[in-house]
Amino acid sequence: MKYLYPMFVLCLLVSCAGVRVNYDYDKTTDFSNYTSYNYFSDIESGLSQLDEKRLVRILDSTLQSKGYLLAEEPDFYINILSSQFRNTPNNSVGVGIGGTGRNVGGGVSVGLPLGNSGIQREIQFDFVDAQKDALFWQANSESGYRENASPSVREDRLRAVIKKVFSKFPPDKK
């Protein structure tokens, strides 16, 4: 019984793939010029309506905690795009049969995939300067996704994505 809880925690940690994020931004941009934001009116995020509401609510909270204001005439607009894809398992076991004799060789090999191919969700955040109509910051996140997850699990997962994505926004000056 004393090993049941640690095994459960270990399985939970192994099953939850981390959030991977790639950033890109215009190095000439002065991020201190941006104080207000809004979303494109024709946003087609690719998320369900409920997930989109959750994401926008979490994103608003995160940006406002960093000092940005939601405004009708903002300094920059946010566009959100998402897609889902099935991840192929990257672990396999090779099984082979071979033989040789009298200068003759032969063999057969089969690769057996290990593990499940899971669903991954990619969410892209584009920040576009309202005056110049130019992209100045972009982040792409990739994380595991379960279609049958409960609303609280979905919200927690989106919160983890937003936290990771905006941990490096605005970028440090170098």
95 part of a folded domain = no
**Distance in angstroms (rounded) separating the CA atoms of residues 161 and 55:** 9
CATH value at residue 130: 3.30.160.670
108 part of a folded domain = no
Taking alpha carbons only, the member of 14, 21, 16 closest to residue 164 is 21
Instruction: Give the length of the chain.
Output: 174
Q: Number of structural domains, the chain?
A: 1
Do the Cβ atoms of 12 and 153 come closer than 8 Å? Answer: no
71 part of a folded domain = yes
36 part of a folded domain = yes
Enclosing domain of residue 33:
18-87+115-168
7 part of a folded domain = no
Give me the tens of pLDDT residue by residue for the chain, a chain 174 residues long: 565 555 444 444 444 458 888 999 999 999 999 999 999 988 888 888 898 999 999 999 999 999 999 999 999 999 999 887 776 655 555 555 555 666 555 555 555 555 555 778 889 999 999 999 999 999 998 888 777 788 898 899 999 999 999 998 888 776
22 part of a folded domain = yes
**Dihedral, CA of residue 130, residue 132, residue 133 and residue 137, to nearest 10:** -80
136 part of a folded domain = yes
The interaxial angle of helices 49-65 and 151-165, nearest 10 deg, is 40
12 part of a folded domain = no
